[in-house]
Structure 1
Amino acid sequence: MKIVGLTGGIGSGKSTVAKMFKELGISVYIADNEAKKLMNEDEIVKQKIIALLGTDSYVDNQLNRPYIASIVFNDSSKLTQLNAIVHPAVATHFDIWKNNQGGEYVIKEVAILFENEGHKQCDHTILVMAPIDERIKRVLKRDKTTKEEILSRINNQWDDTQKIPLADFVINNMDLEETKKQVCEIHKKISSQRGSNANLSFC
């Protein structure tokens, strides 16, 4: 089974694109969501995070995300160390998940796919892009945050100009109908090698 890595900066719309692939019958693994579950439920991961960032990392046995974000997005060393705890656990979880899926390929959505060289474990990669101003506008509408916090997160990710040369496919996500067309084209190209049983609901 092929692994198709899907990535894009915060607010680019990679989750929207992931949903489109899901509508086509493709199994989708959202790495950030699974990472949050592991950070809340895996005792070994939790103890490592507490050792790194302190007991305030959890409140009522739940991950204190604002506290952690306030540290790691202002200290690249701490972010690197946190990633070194979480990413191997997610990789193991993904392998187990993938082996239980059907179909020709799966989508693995990862926010920092290229930064962590995760693309090297993928058969294909898709980069979702949108202008910075649009991305900020989307995140402000979606999350309880500030422009400064969003820019801090953006600055901890690679610029799109660094990602484009590593991507097999690039989706410019500004218009939903146009994005759907791009998703369909990519799906057909990936599937054409062996044929596909996916539900082409909007292609």
Structure 2
Amino acid sequence: MKIYGLTGSIGMGKSAVAAMLRREGVPLFDADAQVHLLQGPGGALLPAIEARFPGTTGAKGVDRAKLGAAVFGHPQELKALEAIVHPAVQAARRRFLRRNRARAFVILDIPLLFEKHGQRRLDGVIVVTAPAWKQRKRVLARPGMTVAKFRRIVDLQTPDAQKRRLADHIIRTGTTFAATRGQVRALVACLGRKTGR
């Protein structure tokens, strides 16, 4: 089984591409979705997060604004949160890989793939990209987003141009939905040929 990574900076359309890949029948592990599950109502990580960051969880799960305020801009606090979250996500990913071991290839949706040097353990990397103006427009349309917050997030991420240079495959979402879907279908066919399926 080949394992590919899917990544892209904030606002590039990675979630839309991931949904398209799923519709094409590709097994895809979404690290962010797993975090939401673990931190949502009744989530397995709530007790540990509440113990380390008191007042940041409740009946609806993690209060993202409160937890974000506790860790954003505080490297040691962020590391403490990652020490709680990352092992649980890695365990879920191992279960996903075991369930799909008979498949020709799978895709791991990993937002901070290059930032965490995760590309070293993969058979290839797919980068989702869009023009900078479109990225900015998409992100600033999100509830609660500000220009300052957007800039801070972008500054923490590997630049898009560098991601594209390191990519094995690129999906461009700055065009139409149909054009993006066409690229996704071509990618699935390409990966299928590489694995002989």
Same fold (TM over 0.5): yes
Determine the C-alpha separation between the residues in 2 that align with 1:158 and 1:2: 25
Q: SS of 1:192's equivalent?
A: helix
Moved more, 126-135 or 9-18: 126-135
Determine the C-alpha separation between the residues in 2 that align with 1:152 and 1:165: 23
Give the partner amino acid of 2:185. Answer: C
Q: SS of 2:141's equivalent?
A: helix
Structure 1: unaligned runs, 5 residues or longer: 197-203
Residue by residue over 1:26-54, the C-alpha shift from the partner in whole angstroms, topping out at 9 and shown as x without a partner, is 112111010121234554x43443344x2
Measured at CA, do residues 42 and 62 of structure 1 come closer, stay the same or move farther in structure 2, by a change above 3 Å?
closer
CA contact (8 A) 2:13 2:128 kept: yes
1:94 Cα offset (Å): 0.9
Determine the C-alpha separation between the residues in 2 that align with 1:26 and 1:74: 36
1:156-171 paired onto structure 2 within 5 Å: 156-171=156-171
Residue by residue over 1:74-93, the C-alpha shift from the partner in whole angstroms, topping out at 9 and shown as x without a partner, is 22343333223212211111
Q: SS of 1:106's equivalent?
A: strand
Measured at CA, do residues 18 and 61 of structure 1 come closer, stay the same or move farther in structure 2, by a change above 3 Å?
closer
Determine the C-alpha separation between the residues in 2 that align with 1:164 and 1:88: 28
Determine the C-alpha separation between the residues in 2 that align with 1:79 and 1:159: 21
Determine the C-alpha separation between the residues in 2 that align with 1:42 and 1:98: 22
Other-structure match for 2:54: 55
Determine the C-alpha separation between the residues in 2 that align with 1:77 and 1:167: 31
Identical-pair percentage: 32
CA contact (8 A) 1:7 1:109 kept: yes
1:5 Cα offset (Å): 0.7
Give the partner amino acid of 2:187. Answer: I
Give the partner amino acid of 1:71. Answer: A
Moved more, 28-37 or 181-190: 181-190
Other-structure match for 1:75: 74
Q: SS of 1:6's equivalent?
A: strand
* RMSD of equivalent CA atoms: 2.2
1:16 Cα offset (Å): 0.8
Give the partner amino acid of 2:184. Answer: V
Give the partner amino acid of 1:131. Answer: P
Determine the C-alpha separation between the residues in 1 that align with 2:191 and 2:54: 46
Residue by residue over 1:87-143, the C-alpha shift from the partner in whole angstroms, topping out at 9 and shown as x without a partner, is 221111111022213532112111101111222222111111123332222123343
Structure 2: unaligned runs, 5 residues or longer: none
1:18 Cα offset (Å): 0.7
Other-structure match for 2:128: 128
CA contact (8 A) 1:119 1:125 kept: yes
CA contact (8 A) 2:105 2:195 kept: no
Moved more, 30-39 or 64-73: 64-73
Q: SS of 1:12's equivalent?
A: coil
**Number of residue pairs matched by the alignment:** 194
